Structure 1
Amino acid sequence: MFATVAGISQRAPVHWSENVTGAAVCFPYVIALDDEFITVHSMLDQQLKQTLPFKEGHILQDFEGRVIVATSKAVYILVPLPLEKQIQDLLASHRVEEALVLAKGARRNIPKEKFQVMYRRVLQQAGFIQFAQLQFLEAKELFRSGQLDVRELISLYPFLLPTSSSFTRSHPPLHEYADLNQLTQGDQEKMAKCKRFLMSYLNEVRSTEVANGYKEDIDTALLKLYAEADHDSLLDLLVTENSCLLTDSAAWLEKHKKYFALGLLYHYNNQDAAAVQLWVNIVNGDIHDSTRSDLYEYVIDFLTYSSDQELVWKYADWALQKSEEVGVQVFTKRHLEEEQNSFNPDDILTCLKKYPDALVKYLEHLVMDRKLQREEYHTHLAVLYLDKVLQQRPSADSMGTEVTEAQAKLRHLLQKSDVYRVRFLMEKVQGASLPMERAILHGKLEEHEKALRILVHELRDIPAAEDYCLWRSEGRDPAYRQQLFHTLLTLYLSPSSSAPELAVAAVDLLNHHAAEFDAAQVLPLLPGSWSVQLLCPFLTGAMRDSVHTRRTAQVALGLAKSENLIYKYDKVRA
């Protein structure tokens, strides 16, 4: 205990009196006798544990495991209390450190299995003592080391264990408290600290081996604590994997008016209809829960990703009545594969007849996003665009921003789509003061002269006329494009077109698009008053193209002659 065989001390010395007349060992204690006392020191921490008055003592000796002390008149045997009794007495006096040291030192005197059971219990008891003193860090380590059944701790908190739990506390009990109210003596601040500790402890152990077999009890208790404390982690618990018992948890959440969280609980337990109904009640103001200010948008997203068609149809009208623009996302933002395999677009269109803005959004989704090539969808969308333009025009002194946006969408659809009923739409725009739209429709009918006449003479929109030629000739052969530009030039140079700006437009057209014209057809159309210098870029380009064409033809002719000579030569040799 005091020194090695080399005589080197490895522990602090035991402080005895100067008149020690005898000493003996009774593990884990060293007992000493002096003139007036018998002193007992621990071998584990060298601290004085007990002092017994004893005068006229002459002998102190260890005899076959017993300590004998004698005077000149009598012999006494010192009998130690059982170690477990000593440990429990120390714990009862809240001398936790001493109890733990003694318990750990008892390992050598107790069979291994019995020691492990005893030591775990001591650790658990010590943990509750530290817990009662609000020493939470120490308590947590003792609970972990002692492998505490976490339900022992939860059971201190009233109503946290599920009503279906069959748990009963350890016997004999690990502590002296009936519940948290007794432990804190009604001190609300202490009670709040204890609840915060339990939240932290349960959150740490719920994903460890400590939770094995008790996950329902742990998660349900954690949910109740979060709900009672209005803790942000309540939602995190419910949107991740958990074992919260539905019956207990639902009643508790309802009690604390956590209706949004209750909806998440229903959803986790595959009760989506109950979840959505609860959230709808919150949005409608039937019940109050301010957890999410964007709950309406959340419900829309939830329905969007729901595969339950019956549920979506049940709340589609509600969603659209709140906001057509947002509500229609239930149909437009679905995954494409799911949408194709579940919802029939015709059924959705029937539902949306009462909601014009939503109807437009959904048709745009079908035509622009899904690119469905069905005539009725394209025609219907074009008609809706046209109706909106016509409704807005009378109330606008000029083409306002909103009108321009509507017309831009209409024109884009008319230009890009080849599926809608052109003649049907032409009838609708006739007399509607929509010349640009009429021009586009004439173009779809291959009535290019009519279209260009509208652009040139009605709208006086020279750039639009040139863009029209480029648009309609896109992907067509050069002859088709040449014919379009020639038609436009003819309109510019028509005798009825005496406006100076058209003459300027004709010159610009020739000079900027020289490659699109056949000079032989153009030159007879040009006024005799135009100078060569005015058309220099066009004439230069025409000459270059003519020379290039002639030389290309000569090369082709030469190659053909060479090939013919080779053929004749091979024929003669054969």
Structure 2
Amino acid sequence: MPFTPYTSQTILPSANGVVDQQHASIQQQQPAPPTSFFTRRPAASSPIGSPPDANQSLPPSPPSRFNTLLPSTSNVAPTSFTIDAVEAWDTNLYLGTSDGCVLHFILEEQSKPGEVPYASRLENKINLGFGRKSIERILVIPQVSKAVVLCDSTLSFYWLPAFAPIPVSSIPHIKGVSCFAHNVAEEGRIGEDGTIELCVVKRRVLQIYKVGELVQIKKEMPLPDGAITLARHGRNLCLADYNHYKLINLLMPNPTPLIPTPQVTISSPTMLGAGSQTVPKPVLTVIRPDEFLVVSGSIFTDSHGSPIRGTLQWASYPKALCVEFPYIAALLRNGTIEIHNILDQRRLQVITFPQSFEARGMSFGHGIKVWMESMAERLRRRPYAHINDDEELESELRRQVSKFSTVPARILIHGRDSVAAQIVTPLVVQVDNLLDDKRLEEALDMADQARNTMSTENNVYQSELDYIYQKAGLLLLQETVFEDAFTLLSKGNIDPRMVIHLFSDLAASSRVNESPYVLLFDGVYGLLERTGRIEDMVAKTMERNYSPHLEEDHQRSSPTMELRRVLLRNAREALEKYLTIERGKRRMLIGKGDTVCKAIDTALLKLFVTNDQDDAIHRLLERPNDCSLEDCVNTLIRSKKYYALSLLYQSKHMYEKVLETLTKIYMGELPDTRFTNGLEHIKRLLLQDISLEHLPMDALMQYAWWVTEQNAVDGVEIFVRSPRAKEMDSSEILEKLEQYGDEAVRSYLDYLVTTRKSKEPKHHTRLALTYVRSVSQTLQDTSKDTLHQLVDQYKQTVNPSNVTENEMTFVGYLGVHQQSNLVRRRLLLIRLLQRSALYDPATLLDAIEKAGPLDIEKVIVYGRMKKHEDALRILIHDLGDFVGAETYCVTKGQSTGTVPAIVMQESVTPARTSSLSKKQVVKKKQLEEDEIPLPALPEENDERRSLFSMLLQTYLSIKDSQLMLIRTMHLLTTQGYYLDILEVLDLIPDDWPIQMLQDFLIRSLRRSLDDHRNSQIVVSLSRGENVMANSQVIDLYKEIGPIYVDLQSECYKCHQYLGDSIVVREHRHGHLLHLTCAKAAGLVKADD
């Protein structure tokens, strides 16, 4: 099939018929209905250009955007004019006639179903006023909204689009014109001054006019030989006079002659009878910038007159030329149009017209859109499912086909009474013909070339390509070339539901009957109906290729039956790849309930299940998906893929179903080997931040206790780390956890105390008791001598006499030097005892004493019980922890040393959300701050002084005099601030020399003197403030004056008698109020 770049389409069968019909209507004084100069689709046998009569239909072109049904004109008077010029712009068509008139048609869109989308009506008939002179040419200049008409050697100007004459007073006619031309380079553009240029040739002069609001001459050049025709591009002109073709550069003075002007012999009547004569008939056109074509030897020439390219050959001498690069169309004198490729000069197509059309001329203009029935037949779409009375959808489909089936036509051919458009043959028509001829490779090559060059925003081209690829894909399906077929269907953007519907076992999941409806091109719809399902295609292929060898007994294995199974397996594999690609195209819609995504995901799951692809199933279900719940649940249950079933439930946020399924798998009720590490999986699920809507608290607690029954540690972790842990009933949890042992209870209590900051004393006491029991059990496994050994090792490690190096407390020693299980548990207990102030110290002391010689723990409890003397005695005499004793006094008995970070357990945090991790950091910082003693307030110093006084007395009771002296002097030096000088002098031995106490005494006396002077300053400042306050009060009394309260005085607010109560006077208006009323009104602060 040869390449045909153009298609000819009749757009006006009979101009005279329209005019005569309107004339008849006017005579009958009836309003003329809108008529069209287009017909509905004619019979296929009608020749193009045939004049309408009673026995012959209109030309064999499909309905154009102009045509509606015209009545028969067999009874109308004979043709009174011929068409001599034609031009079009937007929805306007202008015809110049032989009787000096312009017929103006307007296109109108039709909205009624069943009508051609576009029809036309005769808007106006303009008589130019030059008598019955033929109109030679019409030029439309939309840049300046004007039209130019050459008639009777005169140029006249008109307004667009109505074609109303411009008064001669505004723009005078230009007379004596032989020919004129516009600048092709200015098409679609306008000059900076808002004008375009027009070249006009008179008898011996060339004039250049600027056309804008007015018409002004810009330049004039002598042209001694005149011109018959001319064309212009930029500054270069190509013209022909009676003797030669010539090139003129507007910047150069002299023209460049080319070749002689061809002379054509024509017949003409004379006084002596018929005769003939030769007349010049030059034909030329612009090819592209700086290139022209002149017809004689069909020479392509550049702006310098040098020949370029090869020459063109025509069957007869052309009447007119039009260029749509790279094609050139020539209207020949034999009534045909030949299309050549400019690049290689090959003839591509010959367009013929019936002799009755009488092709007279051809024009290239701004173009008009033409309705092509061949496009409509291919691009019209319909819903696959039957839909009742969906007018909105039908209206939308009509609009689409109207949009896609109107194509632009810039070349118009006019006959004696008709107009045709030369339309670039749409891609879909060319390629579809190749597909019908089974030339798939050529068709796809052409489609791919167009696809690589087309604009992605051109919806018409995209629809054409979609149709081509869909049809080609279905043709390959018929040949069972599945992978290539599905690739083409994907490129053609066919609805994936339709592809799924081709497989019998998946058809029920295709959702082809659900909204949005599957829309198919008419041609594709018919092909699908003929093709049937995949199984039918395979069966037809087998019958076509192997029918002599098909076995009658289908139960018996044979090569042909094996081939059938292979083909069906290949089809399913190709479908899987296709659906994966289509799913990727819709990645932004996945998980949002899109109907197409539902069909794709459901079909993919079924394919994976059929092929036993567990990994693929899990990948699909672990991410957002649109699998149909009911359909996929049944599929997974039948295939006993219960773990995948739980993933499906989870993707649908059906967490109760998920947990029910997983627990049954774990317990063996629903066996599935793919479910590994099951309890950990269930625990992680329960630790997710799931809303109450998807997982109620009752269900969460039910499965949390189920996990606890399987493993108490995992269960407690759920109670502790769940994002909803604070919503749980802690008392109920503690009560139930008792049956699972102390470790479970202790873990949950630690969470309540450490993380939740519980203020309930019973939680703190109970947690401490669990730690004591834990230490006691560890001691039973070892020996109580271990505790004495720890004390002895500590005493050997530290040197109390070296006050500069000895900074280690007994608690610090436990953490740094010992990491046994016993030490860890003791440190946990010590940490709780030091931090918490809510436990019952008496209960703890009793438990500690029963557990064993836990001296440091007993010291902390003594501190809570204010038994400071007993605590200091243990620290000094039993443990030898002098640093711990001083820390005890500084912290008012709350701490004997910082618990090392080694055993500092981070606060338990919820399992999810980024904001919670931030809260974890805040809690950790708060935990660290709790261990750092805050600066003492003045009222706390008395307690510290009492404690350091006790510590001093304890130091003085040390039997080792040397150690006693060193520790006492160290205490006086470092903590002398808290010791009273008189008390110290009274306690120390009389035999101590005064020089030993010199530093202490000097600092104490200096501090006392500073305190005395500071107090004097404060007293003086206070007196000054009192004087100033008294002065202000006196001034205020003078300003306000006396306040009188008698028996009739009432409170402004409560209207009760003021009596002898305290009275407040409102400052602005002087109202009197009770003090309580003034506080209620906000006039006096409540705490004043």
TM range (shorter): 0.7 to 0.9
CA contact (8 A) 1:455 1:464 kept: yes
Task: Give the Cα–Cα distance (whole angstroms) in 2 for the partners of residues 281 and 454 of structure 1.
Answer: 59
CA gap of 1:267–1:64, structure 2 versus 1, over 3 A, is: farther
**Aligned AA (2:599):** D
Give how far 1:235 is off: 5.2
CA gap of 1:279–1:448, structure 2 versus 1, over 3 A, is: same
Corresponding residue of 1:357: 743
Task: Give the Cα–Cα distance (whole angstroms) in 1 for the partners of residues 1027 and 574 of structure 2.
Answer: 108
Higher helix share: 1
Task: Give the Cα–Cα distance (whole angstroms) in 1 for the partners of residues 1007 and 743 of structure 2.
Answer: 54
CA contact (8 A) 2:502 2:534 kept: yes
Corresponding residue of 2:704: 316
Residue 679 of structure 2 is aligned to residue 262 of structure 1: no
Residue 609 of structure 2 is aligned to residue 222 of structure 1: no
Alpha-carbon displacement from aligned partner over 1:164-200 (angstroms, at most 9, x marks no partner): 8466994432885843894996276886465234212
Q: Give the one of 624, 627, 631 matched to 1:244.
A: 627
Which structure would you say has the larger Rg? 2
Give how far 1:381 is off: 0.8
CA gap of 1:41–1:261, structure 2 versus 1, over 3 A, is: farther
**3-state SS of paired residue (2:954):** helix
Corresponding residue of 1:477: 940
Cα RMSD (Å):
5.3
Alpha-carbon displacement from aligned partner over 1:4-27 (angstroms, at most 9, x marks no partner): 9336799xxxxxxx9997999xxx
Corresponding residue of 1:172: 527
Corresponding residue of 1:445: 865
Corresponding residue of 2:969: 507
* Deviates further, 131-140 or 438-447: 131-140
Task: Give the Cα–Cα distance (whole angstroms) in 1 for the partners of residues 491 and 345 of structure 2.
Answer: 23
Q: Give the one of 494, 511, 527 matched to 2:989.
A: 527
* Deviates further, 314-323 or 168-177: 168-177
Paired positions, count = 520
CA gap of 1:523–1:164, structure 2 versus 1, over 3 A, is: same
**3-state SS of paired residue (1:441):** helix
Corresponding residue of 1:272: 655
Corresponding residue of 1:153: 499
| Structure 1 unaligned blocks of 5 or more | 11-17, 25-29, 31-39, 51-58, 67-81, 105-112
CA gap of 1:312–1:42, structure 2 versus 1, over 3 A, is: farther
Give how far 1:408 is off: 1.7
Task: Give the Cα–Cα distance (whole angstroms) in 2 for the partners of residues 491 and 115 of structure 1.
Answer: 102
Identity, % of aligned positions: 23
Task: Give the Cα–Cα distance (whole angstroms) in 2 for the partners of residues 23 and 224 of structure 1.
Answer: 69
Q: Give the one of 884, 891, 894 matched to 1:464.
A: 884
CA gap of 1:61–1:165, structure 2 versus 1, over 3 A, is: closer
Give how far 1:527 is off: 2.9
Q: Give the one of 704, 714, 720 matched to 1:326.
A: 714
Give how far 1:130 is off: 6.7
CA contact (8 A) 2:472 2:488 kept: yes
CA contact (8 A) 1:257 1:289 kept: no
Q: How does 1:279-318 map onto structure 2 within 5 Å?
A: 279-283=662-666, 287-290=671-674, 295-304=678-687, 305-306=689-690, 307=692, 308-318=696-706
**3-state SS of paired residue (1:452):** helix
**Aligned AA (2:719):** F
Corresponding residue of 2:897: none
CA gap of 1:503–1:249, structure 2 versus 1, over 3 A, is: farther
**Aligned AA (2:499):** L
Corresponding residue of 1:89: 436
Task: Give the Cα–Cα distance (whole angstroms) in 1 for the partners of residues 475 and 347 of structure 2.
Answer: 21
Q: Give the one of 832, 844, 859 matched to 1:425.
A: 844
**Aligned AA (1:126):** A
Corresponding residue of 2:825: 406
Alpha-carbon displacement from aligned partner over 1:152-174 (angstroms, at most 9, x marks no partner): 22235564454584669944328
CA contact (8 A) 2:759 2:838 kept: yes
Alpha-carbon displacement from aligned partner over 1:460-511 (angstroms, at most 9, x marks no partner): 21111111112226655211110001101101112x6446434422222221
**3-state SS of paired residue (1:243):** coil
Residue 476 of structure 2 is aligned to residue 196 of structure 1: no
* Deviates further, 320-329 or 387-396: 320-329
Task: Give the Cα–Cα distance (whole angstroms) in 2 for the partners of residues 214 and 450 of structure 1.
Answer: 81
**Aligned AA (1:518):** D
Alpha-carbon displacement from aligned partner over 1:283-336 (angstroms, at most 9, x marks no partner): 556634547x6653342232233542322232233322444333212221233x
**3-state SS of paired residue (1:331):** helix
Higher strand share: 2
Alpha-carbon displacement from aligned partner over 1:68-124 (angstroms, at most 9, x marks no partner): xxxxxxxxxxxxxx98984542347554337859999xxxxxxxx999998754431
CA gap of 1:557–1:254, structure 2 versus 1, over 3 A, is: closer
Give how far 1:373 is off: 0.9
Q: Give the one of 534, 539, 544 matched to 2:1001.
A: 539
Task: Give the Cα–Cα distance (whole angstroms) in 2 for the partners of residues 94 and 309 of structure 1.
Answer: 64
**Aligned AA (1:215):** C
CA contact (8 A) 1:123 1:142 kept: yes
| Structure 2 unaligned blocks of 5 or more | 7-282, 293-311, 319-327, 329-337, 358-428, 452-458, 519-523, 542-562, 788-818, 894-935, 1033-1088
Give how far 1:239 is off: 5.4
Corresponding residue of 2:780: 394
CA gap of 1:464–1:290, structure 2 versus 1, over 3 A, is: farther
Q: Give the one of 344, 357, 361 matched to 2:729.
A: 344
CA gap of 1:62–1:330, structure 2 versus 1, over 3 A, is: same
Task: Give the Cα–Cα distance (whole angstroms) in 2 for the partners of residues 563 and 208 of structure 1.
Answer: 76
CA contact (8 A) 1:22 1:60 kept: no
CA gap of 1:529–1:310, structure 2 versus 1, over 3 A, is: same
Please give the TM-score of this superposition, normalised by the length of structure 2: 0.41
Corresponding residue of 1:77: none
CA contact (8 A) 2:469 2:489 kept: no
**Aligned AA (1:5):** T
CA gap of 1:566–1:117, structure 2 versus 1, over 3 A, is: closer
**Aligned AA (1:265):** L
Corresponding residue of 2:902: none
Alpha-carbon displacement from aligned partner over 1:387-410 (angstroms, at most 9, x marks no partner): 111111232354653222222222
Corresponding residue of 1:370: 756
Task: Give the Cα–Cα distance (whole angstroms) in 2 for the partners of residues 158 and 266 of structure 1.
Answer: 27
CA contact (8 A) 2:845 2:861 kept: yes
CA contact (8 A) 1:226 1:233 kept: yes
* Deviates further, 276-285 or 440-449: 276-285
Please give the TM-score of this superposition, normalised by the length of structure 1: 0.73
**Aligned AA (2:660):** Q
Corresponding residue of 2:72: none
**Aligned AA (1:483):** S
**3-state SS of paired residue (1:472):** coil
